Structure 1
Amino acid sequence: MSEDNISPAAADLPSPKREQQRNWLPSLVWIVPIIAALVGITLVVKVLVNRGPVITISFRTAEGLEAGNTKVKYKDVDIGEVQEITLSEDRSQVLVKVQLAKTAQSFTADDTHFWVVRPRLGASGITGLGTLLSGAYIAADAGTSEETTKEFSGLEVQPIVTRDASGKQFVLHASDLGSLDIGSPVFYRRIKVGQVAAYDLDEDGKGVSLRIFIDKPYDKYVGMNTRFWHASGFDVQVDSSGFKLNTQSLATVILGGLAFQSVDDEPGPVAKENTTFLLAQDQNQAFREADGASQTMVLYFKQSVRGLTPGAAVDFRGVVLGEVKSVGVQYDPEHHEFEMPVVIEIYPERLGRKFVENERKSSESMQQRVQLMVSRGLRAQLRTGSLLTGKLYVAVDFFPQAPKVVIGSGLPIELPTIPNSLDELQTQISAIAGNLSKVQFEQIGRDLQKTLATMNKTLSSTEVLVKSLNNDVAPEVTAAMKDVRKTLNNADRTLSEDAPLQQDLRQTLQELSRAAASLKVLTDYLEQHPESLIRGKTLDK
C-alpha cells in the first residue's frame, strides 16, 4: 500500500514501540531438572551429614554377605551397611568395609563385637531362621571401652551372652567337658535359669574352665554353699525301693546341661560375679562331704584282672572307700612268675569320724596300724560288679581264715590279697579237667568199638534165628493152634446144654439119685431089723 492511499484517520495513529525480550528468565522446561537437582543435592547433604565412621571387619568367609545390600544391625535396627568386600593380602581372611551411621559412633569402641547372623543349629536351639528370607546380616554388640578403633575381628560364632543381658557370670572348674557345649542349659529345680557361655582348657592342661551366665533374678540363688554338677544324660538308680530314672529334661539327654542347688537349701551369702565353683560329675558327688587326705596302697594279684579298669571302686562292705588308680603287670624273679600290681587310692575318713579320731590319737605308724588289721584277716579281693558288663571292683574285708602275712615297710603300703570264690571254682574245675585228661579215652573207645562189633554179630545171629523160626516153626505152631481150636470147639459142643451127652448125664444122675434114696431106705430098715439079713424080711400083717 502506498502512502497516497493512506487514509487521514490512519495517519493520525501513533507508531508502535519496539521493546527487547528479557532473556534472563528460564524456560518452563528447565523447572523439573532444577527441582530434581535440588532434591539430589539435599539428599547428598543429608547422607554426608548422617554418615558415620567407616570400619573394617575381618571374617574367615564372606558367606551370605553382599556389598551394597548386607546390613549391620543392633537389636534389629540398621546402623550401617556393607560397602566393599575384599581379600586380605595373605588370602586367609575376608575384609568387609562397613559404613556406619552417624548415630552408631559408639560402635567404634575397641571391645565391640561383630558377627554374621546365619541359620545355625546349636545347643541353645535353632537361630537365624529369619535370614532364610531376608538374607544374612552382621549383628553388633556395643562395647564400653573408651578407646576406639576402625579395624575389628569378627566372631565366627554368635555370643551367648551380650552386654545388655542382665545377670551374672560364674566360673566352673571340671576335669573334662563331658557333653557340654556353648549354649548348654543350666537348671535350678528343673527350671532353665542360664546357659554355658564359654569354655577353655586350663593352662596346665589338667582341667577345663567353663563360664556360665545365670539370668536375673535367678542369680540370687547362687551362694557360697551352692553346688554344681553335670545334668547330662540319665541318672539311673537301682536300690531296694526299685528302679529310678532321673534327668533334668529331654534336652540335657541329647545336648547336655548343668544343674545347681545349695546344701540344705541354704545358699549362704550371695556369690559375687566371676566366683569359681567346682563342677561335680553327678548330684551325689556334688553333695558329698570332703574326703580329707587320701592314702595310696598297692595290691598284687596273681590272677586275671580283665574287667578291672582305672576308676573302679574300692569297696568295704558296701561303702566306697576310694578308686583304682592304675593296673599293671610285672615279673617276679624270685618265684619266676608274673603278678599284677594294682594301685588304689582310699580315703580313711569315709570309715567314720570315730575311726579317724582313733587313728589320730594312735602313736603307731601307718604300717603298724595296717599290719594289725592284716593280722586280723584284712585282705583285698577282686569281685564282679556286673554280670552283664563283666566289670570288676576291689573289695576290702576281713577274712579270719586267711593265712598270716607280714607286710613290708616300703611305700606305698602293700595290702595282701586273696582269690575270690569264682577263682577257686575255676581252680577246682581246672583240677577236674586235669583228672579227666588222664582218662584213657582212646583205649575205652577201642574197647567200646570191639563191644559194639560183638553186639553187631549177636544181633545178626538173632536176626537169622528169627528168620529160621519164622520159616520152620511158625507153620507147625499154626497147625497146632488149628488142632487146639478144633478140640475146643468139640469140647464146647459136648458141654453145651442141648448136647446128647448132657441129657444122658442128667438121666444117669437122676437114676443115681433114686438109687441113693432106695439105698438109704434099706440102710434104715437094716438098722431097725438087723435080723432080716438072716431070716429075711417079714411080711407086714
Structure 2
Amino acid sequence: MSDPVDRPGASGVPEAVATPRSRWRIQIIWLVPLIAVLIGGWLAAKAIVERGPTVTISFETGEGLEAGKTKIKFKNVDIGVVKSVALSSDHRRVIATAELTREASPLLVDDTRFWMVRPRISGGTVSGIGTLLTGSFIGMDVGNSTKPRHDYTGLEIPPVFASGVPGREFILKGADMGSLDVGSPIYYRRLQVGQITSYQLDPDGKGVTMHVFVNSPYDKYVRADSRFWQASGVDVSLDATGVKVNTESLVAILIGGLAFETPDDAADDAEAAAKTQFVLFHDRAEAMRRHDRIVDTYALVFKESVRGLAVGAPVDFLGIVVGEVVAINTRYDPVAKQFSIPVEIHLFPERFTSRYTKGDQGAGGRLTADRQKLAQTLVDHGLRAQLRTGNLLTGQLYVAVDFFPNAPKGKLDWSANPPELPTAPGGLQSLQESVTSLLAKLNQIPFGGIGKGAQKTLTDADSLLRQLRTDVVPQARDTLAAAQTALNSANGALQPDSALSQSTSDAMTELARTASAFRSLADYLERHPEALIRGKQEDKK
C-alpha cells in the first residue's frame, strides 16, 4: 500500500492546475504609448493635410527678412511666414522660402506679385509707415492668370495699384523722364485721375518708356488722338496781356506730373484701348499743336551761312507754317572744291490744301494724293526756299518758301532721297551779290585816266587861284574900302540931326500941306463941279 501522504488531496490542499498564457494578452501599461502614437500620427496626418504651399521669393537684398518672423500679408491679412533666408547659388540674390496657409493656394498664380513693405516716400506718396513699429513684411498682390506658380522674383518697388482696380493702363514714349517718378500723378483738366506705374530706358538708349494707369471712370476720356505732356514745374509766358503763370497743381511743381487732353477737332474720337501707345511731349503747346498725318521730306542746299538756323525752325509759306527743319549738315563737292549746307526739312502737304472753298473740296484731295505733281507745279511757277531773319535781336533764321518769278527754272529729282528743292539766295547774300556787282562795275571805270585829268584840272585851278590872289584880290580890296566909305557917308547922312534928315523932314511937311490942299480942292469940286468951267465964284454977301 502506498503512503497516504503521497496521494493527492490527502492533506486537504487543492492541487494547482497550470493554465496556458494567452498569446494576445496586452498589459495595460502599453496602452499609454500606443495612444500617444495614435494621437501623434493623427496630428501628423492633420498637419500634412492642412499644410499650405511653400513658395520661394528672390530679392536683391535681405533687408527686413528674418526667418520665422517676417510675415506675408495679402490685404493686410497674415497668410504665411518666411521659414528660411539664404543666398542664391551665384551669391547675387537672396532667396526667401515661405510657407503659406492652405487657403492661399489659389492665390499662387503666374502673375502674382510679392514685394517688401518698408517705409517709403516716392512720387509724393508715403507708404509703409506702420512697419516702423511692427517691422517689415512681404506684401502680396494676386494676378488674373490661372497658371499655378511657386517661385517668384520680388519687386524692388511696390506696385502703385493693386490688381483688379478698375481703369486702363497706357504706354507713353518720351525723350526723357524729366522730374517724373513712379507714383507721379496724371491730371485731366487739373483733376488727378491716375499715376505712373513704372518706367524703363529704351533698349537703344534714345528714350524712355513709361507705363501709366488711369483710374475708372476717367479712363474713358483717353481717346485715340489724346495728347500727353509733362506738366512739371511752372509755365511762365509774357504777351500783350501781361505775364501768365500756368501749372497743374502744387504737387506737380514739387514732384512733377503728367497731363493729357484731346483736341476739339480730333479726327479719331474713339476711346483708346488698354496698352495703347502715345507720344509724351515736353509741354502743352507742343502737344496740342497740329500733328499732320502726311509728311514729306525734302533737302534744301544753301551755299551761304546758316548761322541762326536751328533744328525745329519753321518752314513758312506766305505766313503759314507748312513744315519744320529736322537736320542741318555739311557737304563737300570734290569737283567744284566747294562746301554746301544741305538742310533737311519736313513738309506737310495737307496745309497747302486745307483751306479750299466748300465748292472745291475735291481739289485738295487730288493735290494731296499726287504730291509730286503738286511740288513740281509749284517749282515750275517759281517756288523757291530762302533763308530769312525771323528775329533781329537774336538773329534767328527760318526757311521761307515763296515764289520768285524771275528765278531760273528748276526741276525736282525724285530719284534722290530725299528730293532736293531749289533755293534762292537770302537777303544778306543778295545784298552781298549787289555790292559785288557794283564793285565790278566800279573796277571797269578808268580811274587812271580820270586821275590824270583831275591832276591837270587841279593844276589849272591852282594857277587861277594864284592869278586871283595877285590881280583880283588887290582890286577887290580897294573896291571894298570904297564901299565902306560910301556906307559910312550914308550912315552919317541918315542920322537924326543931319542936314539931310532936316531937309527930308521939311520936304515931308510940305508934301503933307500940298496933300491937304489937294484934298480941299477935291471936296470943293465935288460940291461945285461947274467951277471947272466957270471958275470959282465969289461968295455972295
TM over 0.5: yes
The CA deviation at 1:161 is: 2.4
Given the alignment of the two structures, is residue 416 of structure 1 paired with residue 419 of structure 2, yes or no?
no
The CA deviation at 1:287 is: 4.2
Does the C-alpha gap of structure 1 residues 425 and 67 become closer, same or farther in structure 2, counting only changes over 3 Å?
A: farther
CA contact (8 A) 1:116 1:156 kept: yes
What amino acid does structure 2 have at the position aligned with 1:327?
Answer: I
The CA deviation at 1:177 is: 5.1
What amino acid does structure 2 have at the position aligned with 1:342?
Answer: V
Does the C-alpha gap of structure 1 residues 343 and 268 become closer, same or farther in structure 2, counting only changes over 3 Å?
A: closer
Q: Give the secondary structure class of the aligned counterpart of 1:52.
A: coil
The CA deviation at 1:221 is: 3.0
The structure 1 residue matched to 2:401, chosen from 386, 396, 401, is 396
The CA deviation at 1:326 is: 1.4
The CA deviation at 1:327 is: 1.0
What amino acid does structure 1 have at the position aligned with 2:425?
Answer: I
The CA deviation at 1:201 is: 6.4
Correspondence for 1:161: 161
Does the C-alpha gap of structure 1 residues 140 and 319 become closer, same or farther in structure 2, counting only changes over 3 Å?
A: same
The RMSD of aligned alpha carbons is 4.2
Q: Distance in 2 between matches of 1:205 and 1:298?
A: 28
CA contact (8 A) 1:380 1:415 kept: no
The structure 2 residue matched to 1:406, chosen from 409, 412, 416, is 409
Given the alignment of the two structures, is residue 219 of structure 1 paired with residue 219 of structure 2, yes or no?
yes
Does the C-alpha gap of structure 1 residues 189 and 409 become closer, same or farther in structure 2, counting only changes over 3 Å?
A: closer
The CA deviation at 1:342 is: 1.1
Does the C-alpha gap of structure 1 residues 301 and 138 become closer, same or farther in structure 2, counting only changes over 3 Å?
A: same
Gaps of 5+ in 2: 1-39, 357-362, 440-541
| Pairing 1:31-42 to 2, within 5 Å after superposition | none
Correspondence for 1:69: 69
What amino acid does structure 2 have at the position aligned with 1:298?
Answer: A
CA contact (8 A) 1:299 1:417 kept: no
Q: Distance in 1 between matches of 2:216 and 2:198?
A: 19
Given the alignment of the two structures, is residue 251 of structure 1 paired with residue 259 of structure 2, yes or no?
no
The CA deviation at 1:317 is: 5.1
Does the C-alpha gap of structure 1 residues 52 and 359 become closer, same or farther in structure 2, counting only changes over 3 Å?
A: closer
The CA deviation at 1:191 is: 0.7
The CA deviation at 1:156 is: 1.5
Q: Write out per-residue CA displacement over residues 28-61 of structure 1, whole angstroms, 9 at most, x where no aligned residue.
A: xxxxxxxxxxxx9999999878652221111111
Correspondence for 1:380: 386
Given the alignment of the two structures, is residue 369 of structure 1 paired with residue 383 of structure 2, yes or no?
no
Q: Give the secondary structure class of the aligned counterpart of 2:211.
A: strand
Q: Distance in 2 between matches of 1:295 and 1:54?
A: 61
Correspondence for 1:512: none
Does the C-alpha gap of structure 1 residues 281 and 198 become closer, same or farther in structure 2, counting only changes over 3 Å?
A: same
Q: Write out per-residue CA displacement over residues 476-532 of structure 1, whole angstroms, 9 at most, x where no aligned residue.
A: xxxxxxxxxxxxxxxxxxxxxxxxxxxxxxxxxxxxxxxxxxxxxxxxxxxxxxxxx
CA contact (8 A) 1:297 1:415 kept: no
Given the alignment of the two structures, is residue 347 of structure 1 paired with residue 348 of structure 2, yes or no?
yes
Does the C-alpha gap of structure 1 residues 291 and 45 become closer, same or farther in structure 2, counting only changes over 3 Å?
A: same
Q: Distance in 2 between matches of 1:43 and 1:363?
A: 85
Q: Give the secondary structure class of the aligned counterpart of 2:53.
A: strand
Q: Distance in 2 between matches of 1:145 and 1:297?
A: 51
CA contact (8 A) 2:70 2:81 kept: yes
What amino acid does structure 2 have at the position aligned with 1:320?
Answer: V
Correspondence for 2:305: 304
Correspondence for 1:330: 331
TM-score normalised according to structure 1 size: 0.60
Q: Give the secondary structure class of the aligned counterpart of 2:304.
A: coil
Correspondence for 1:528: none
TM-score normalised according to structure 2 size: 0.60
The CA deviation at 1:62 is: 0.6
Q: Give the secondary structure class of the aligned counterpart of 1:264.
A: coil
Given the alignment of the two structures, is residue 90 of structure 1 paired with residue 90 of structure 2, yes or no?
yes
| Pairing 1:141-290 to 2, within 5 Å after superposition | 141-174=141-174, 179-199=179-199, 209-224=209-224, 226-264=226-264, 270-290=271-291
Q: Give the secondary structure class of the aligned counterpart of 1:365.
A: helix
Q: Distance in 1 between matches of 2:378 and 2:336?
A: 25
Q: Distance in 2 between matches of 1:90 and 1:246?
A: 53
Q: Distance in 2 between matches of 1:395 and 1:234?
A: 33
Q: Distance in 1 between matches of 2:243 and 2:404?
A: 33
Q: Which range moved further: 255-264 or 113-122?
A: 255-264
CA contact (8 A) 2:353 2:367 kept: no
The CA deviation at 1:142 is: 1.8
Correspondence for 1:448: none
Q: Give the secondary structure class of the aligned counterpart of 2:52.
A: strand
The CA deviation at 1:372 is: 3.6
CA contact (8 A) 2:367 2:373 kept: no
Given the alignment of the two structures, is residue 294 of structure 1 paired with residue 295 of structure 2, yes or no?
yes
What amino acid does structure 1 have at the position aligned with 2:387?
Answer: Q
Q: Distance in 2 between matches of 1:317 and 1:216?
A: 46
Q: Distance in 2 between matches of 1:108 and 1:306?
A: 64
Q: Which range moved further: 80-89 or 284-293?
A: 284-293
Given the alignment of the two structures, is residue 122 of structure 1 paired with residue 129 of structure 2, yes or no?
no
The CA deviation at 1:373 is: 4.2
CA contact (8 A) 2:376 2:412 kept: no
What amino acid does structure 1 have at the position aligned with 2:325?
Answer: V
Q: Write out per-residue CA displacement over residues 150-205 of structure 1, whole angstroms, 9 at most, x where no aligned residue.
A: 22111111112221423222344556655544322111110111012234567888
What amino acid does structure 2 have at the position aligned with 1:302?
Answer: K
Q: Distance in 2 between matches of 1:425 and 1:122?
A: 60
The CA deviation at 1:79 is: 1.8
Does the C-alpha gap of structure 1 residues 246 and 421 become closer, same or farther in structure 2, counting only changes over 3 Å?
A: farther
Q: Give the secondary structure class of the aligned counterpart of 1:193.
A: strand
What amino acid does structure 2 have at the position aligned with 1:383?
Answer: T
What amino acid does structure 1 have at the position aligned with 2:140?
Answer: A
CA contact (8 A) 1:298 1:343 kept: yes
Does the C-alpha gap of structure 1 residues 167 and 336 become closer, same or farther in structure 2, counting only changes over 3 Å?
A: closer
CA contact (8 A) 1:383 1:395 kept: no
Q: Write out per-residue CA displacement over residues 356-406 of structure 1, whole angstroms, 9 at most, x where no aligned residue.
A: 72845999934542334436xx44114355846x65433334567xx6333
Count matched residues. Answer: 387
Correspondence for 1:505: none
Does the C-alpha gap of structure 1 residues 345 and 77 become closer, same or farther in structure 2, counting only changes over 3 Å?
A: same
Does the C-alpha gap of structure 1 residues 121 and 223 become closer, same or farther in structure 2, counting only changes over 3 Å?
A: same
Q: Which range moved further: 175-184 or 120-129?
A: 175-184
Correspondence for 1:491: none
| Pairing 1:128-147 to 2, within 5 Å after superposition | 128-147=128-147
CA contact (8 A) 2:167 2:215 kept: yes
